[in-house]
Structure 1
Amino acid sequence: MAGVMPLIKAWCEHGKPFPCLESKIEDVHLLMPFAQYDFQNAPWPKISLPTRLALFRQLLEGLRNLHATGIMHRDISPKNSLILSINDSAPMAAICDFGKAIKGATGRNIHLGPPPFVAPEVWRGEGYTNAIDIFSLGLTMLHTFGDWRGAGPIDERTYKTVLERLARLQEHQDPVPEEFLSLLRSILSWDPVNRPTAEQALDHKVWRQQGIITATALNGSKRRSSDISSKSDGATGTSGGESGIKRMRRSNGQSPSSPPGSDNGEDRRHGELAAREDRQVALEVTVTSE
């Protein structure tokens, strides 16, 4: 699923695939691609504007795919927007952390992501739609220019600050295209009815003018490169070792164990991880309904 953090493998200590009814979530091991940065700690002054726009577009692709399946993320923020690569020729970003996600068109729970990145309608307690994800992503992008950190929930007063930060982008050291500013203004509309959907935002003319690299195109190119390499070298897709991959465990700081039944040989483990690195795996998200 383009723009969403892929899950390479999940297992529990009983040797069963996830979900395992014998195991609590703390006992589940998750294998995911390694992210260099997130939108919170990325070295933005060193990242070119075209690369920033490409990363942002890929997150938009992720939202489009989530919303198309009826999933509302509800916790889009710089920390949950991961960057797998800032290479100008192949930038890659993905949405992660679905702890607040729900399956549904509307929600009412106000205990969501960090308050400075939550859409204003959430705090009114009248319900909301997946337009809150679009607004949060807009603030996440604003953050990359060093122009939004916020200090609390967005109300009429703090929203004026958002508009002021938007205006400052015209004076940024990297000239921000007016077309992109127009898109960002609409994404950050106070009224959710006036915000574009992720699909509409992806159809904005700024992307055609800027020639941005998309997550979908990047994944296709990566698979083609892997195929060519395998044919020319006679390889089996096991080059590259463990680079770019890390294992994660939802536990109390303990290190993850290998899947039951596997040996601990480094060569075998490196080969398995690297072979999976180039595989496009769709993320299965477990969500609840409100």
Structure 2
Amino acid sequence: MLVESRRIRDRYRLLEPIGGGAMGTVWRAQDEMLGRTVAIKELLLPHDHDEHRTEEAKNRAMREARIAARLQHSHAITVFAVLEEEDRPWLIMEYLPSKSFAVLVREEPVSVDDAIRVGAQISSALAGAHRAGIVHRDVKPANILVSEDGTAKITDFGISRAIGDVKLTATGEIAGTPAFLAPEVARGEDADFAADVFSLGATLYAAVEGQPPYGTADNPIALLYRASSGEIEPPAKAERLTPLLLRMLATDPAERPSMDEVEQELRALLPDAEPGESVLAATVPEAEPAAVPTVPATVAVPPAGEVAAVTPGARKGLIAVGAGAALLCVAVVVAILLVVRQQPPQNNAAPPATSQPPAPASVTPSTTASSSPAPSQTPPTTASPTSPPVSPVSSTKTAGQALSAYYALLPNNLPQAWNLLTDHFKASKHQTLATYEAFWSKYSRVSVSNVADNGSGQVTAHVTYVTKGGGTETDTNTFSLVQSGGVWMIDSQS
């Protein structure tokens, strides 16, 4: 059969192989139903096992792939669907014209600045995954894709380990390389969040040093032995990245920073943006750690994950904002806030209940004030004086009502919502109105629930997002609001 005529589920036409290895073949393909290019990974199952073990490996690969499909992040390759065809799993994923970080490292030396930029993006995706209870298990340069504009994305969440990669086989052979394994994993323990931290550290180490922290060896068993001991060569070229690398590569998992801390420290190390250059704001959806739920056999992910449209620095909720955007005229802002004041958000934005924890009991947007009392004092104003003056009528809102009003504007009234964010908030995220709009273009609805005023402008709320493909995502966030010109504005989010 000619490759050009090969189809999967009478929908995906395979065009050409673009990668592969022990795990299987990656194809560039055409989704003929939606008219877009996708990447399809054809997972190969082990043939040296009996029928029972092969079936077990297939089921495990399908399960891990469905878990990967739960994660939607601007720096993680999106899994659109998981199919079983020709008695093996197929992953339908977004297509990113790119090179793997492993290829880039081989082609030419990677500067410390470039390594930090890639690390900031990838750590943001891993931090989001960890908060959702997902462990990658195989972070390495080959699983990081970098496009021409510098956008980095990680792929293969859990898939390689699901079908036996980086494990000793029954014959004593190693499938995959142990060069980026955490010591505890090399000794046979299960990979956890701390193992991902080590592997990302090893990846960045290899990028700047030219070889993995355990060195190189033709004998994979010898390399595995080095990995199990945790003894590394101290970095010699990592410069300001050295202290963080050493902590990430600590032999004891308890001594390693969390992935959230890694992301924060890498962001702090990012070089100043050059004129015209966009600073990478590697931020992610903030979700509480949750157990992995049961996922349907086929997981569809929204078409909005089209790779070329992803903007570095997108973040859930309020994030994806910047200090340089032009403000709307005063009259427009006054009119919008008066409408929000007089007409609370309606329930037409309420999404269906989500099965993904931590989902709230109700995702209907809050239309009334929280039962908590309003702050007794007006908090100090920290908004920039460039924020537009607004009618004092809005000052009668509680901070919780103001937060609900903000989300009632989204995603259809982006310029108005933008003006309810302080310049301090925008500047802290290094973003622009353009990236704010690009982020919200992926969502059809958003709602808030369980809004609680904690006093002094502090508000905690559940925020539920509905993608254009029908998927739902829920975060729990704490917001800090301040008043400017009698209007509550959002100053920070955690």
TM-score by length of 1: 0.57
Q: Deviations over 1:124-152 (max 9, x none)?
A: 33545221111111111111121326332
Give the Å deviation of 1:83: 0.9
The structure whose RCO (Cα within 8 Å, separation 6+) is larger is 1
After TM superposition, give the deviation of residue 39 of structure 1 in Å.
1.6
> Which segment drifts farther, 42-51 or 65-74?
42-51
Structure 2 counterpart of 1:208: 268
Structure 1 position 163 matched with structure 2 position 222? no
Corresponding residue SS for 1:208: helix
The structural deviation recorded for 1:19 is 4.7
Q: What's the CA shift for 1:110?
A: 5.0
Among 52, 58, 78, the alignment partner of 1:6 is 78
Match of residue 130, structure 1, among 181, 184, 193: 193
> What do the CA deviations read for 1:42-80 (whole angstroms, capped 9, x no partner)?
056365432321111111111101111111111111111
The equivalent of 2:135 in structure 1 is 72
**Contact between 1:135 and 1:187, CA under 8 Å: does it hold in 2?**
yes
Instruction: Decide which structure has greater helix share.
Output: 1
Larger Rg: 2
Q: Which amino acid aligns with 1:132?
A: A
Other-structure match for 2:459: none
2:312 alignment counterpart: 218
Secondary structure (helix, strand or coil) at the match of 2:312 reads: helix
Report the Cα distance in structure 1 between the residues aligned to 2:226 and 2:102, rounded to whole angstroms. Answer: 23
| Alpha-carbon contact 1:72-1:101 (below 8 Å) kept | no
CA distance in 1, matches of 2:263, 2:146: 19
Name the structure 1 match of 2:116. 53
| CA 25–63 in structure 1, closer or farther in 2 if over 3 Å, else same | farther
Query: Does the 8 Å contact 1:76/1:136 carry over to 2?
Result: yes
Q: Deviations over 1:198-220 (max 9, x none)?
A: 0011222x533534622447244
CA RMSD, 1 decimal: 3.9
Matched, 1:30 2:96: no
Deviation at 1:38, TM superposition (A): 1.1
Change beyond 3 A, Cα 1:190–1:46: closer
Seen in structure 2, the aligned counterparts of structure 1 residues 182 and 140 have a Cα distance that, compared at 3 Å, is same
Q: How does 1:62-211 map to 2 (within 5 A)?
A: 62-85=125-148, 87=149, 91-98=150-157, 99-100=159-160, 110=167, 114-145=177-208, 146-148=210-212, 150-151=216-217, 152-153=223-224, 155=226, 159-160=230-231, 162-164=232-234, 166=235, 168-169=236-237, 176-177=239-240, 180-204=241-265, 207-211=267-271
Q: Secondary structure at the match of 1:114?
A: coil
List gaps (5 residues or longer) in structure 2: 1-72, 169-174, 218-222, 272-278, 284-310, 326-439, 444-466, 472-494
Secondary structure class of the residue paired with 1:117: coil
Question: Is this contact kept in 1: 2:116–2:269, CA < 8 A?
Answer: no
Cα 1:58/1:114, change in 2 over 3 Å: same
Paired residue type of 1:66: A
The answer (yes or no) to whether the contact 1:39–1:140 under 8 Å persists in 2 is no
Higher strand share: 2
Q: Which residue of structure 1 aligns with residue 364 of structure 2?
A: none
Q: 1:158 to 1:169 in 2, by over 3 A?
A: farther
* Structure 1 contact 119–135 (Cα < 8 Å) conserved: yes
* Shift of residue 94, structure 1, vs aligned partner: 1.1
Q: Is the 8 A contact 2:75 2:154 kept in 1?
A: yes
CA contact (8 A) 1:77 1:113 kept: no
Q: Residues 35 and 198 from structure 1, CA distance in 2 versus in 1: closer, same or farther, beyond 3 angstroms?
A: farther
Deviation at 1:25, TM superposition (A): 7.0
Number of residues paired by the alignment?
202
Distance, in Å, in 1 between the alignment partners of 2:89 and 2:96 is: 21
Change (3 A) 1:141 1:279: farther
Contact 2:76 2:155 in 1 (8 A): yes
Given the two structures, how large is their TM-score scaled by the length of structure 2?
0.35
8 Å CA contact retained: 2:121, 2:281: yes
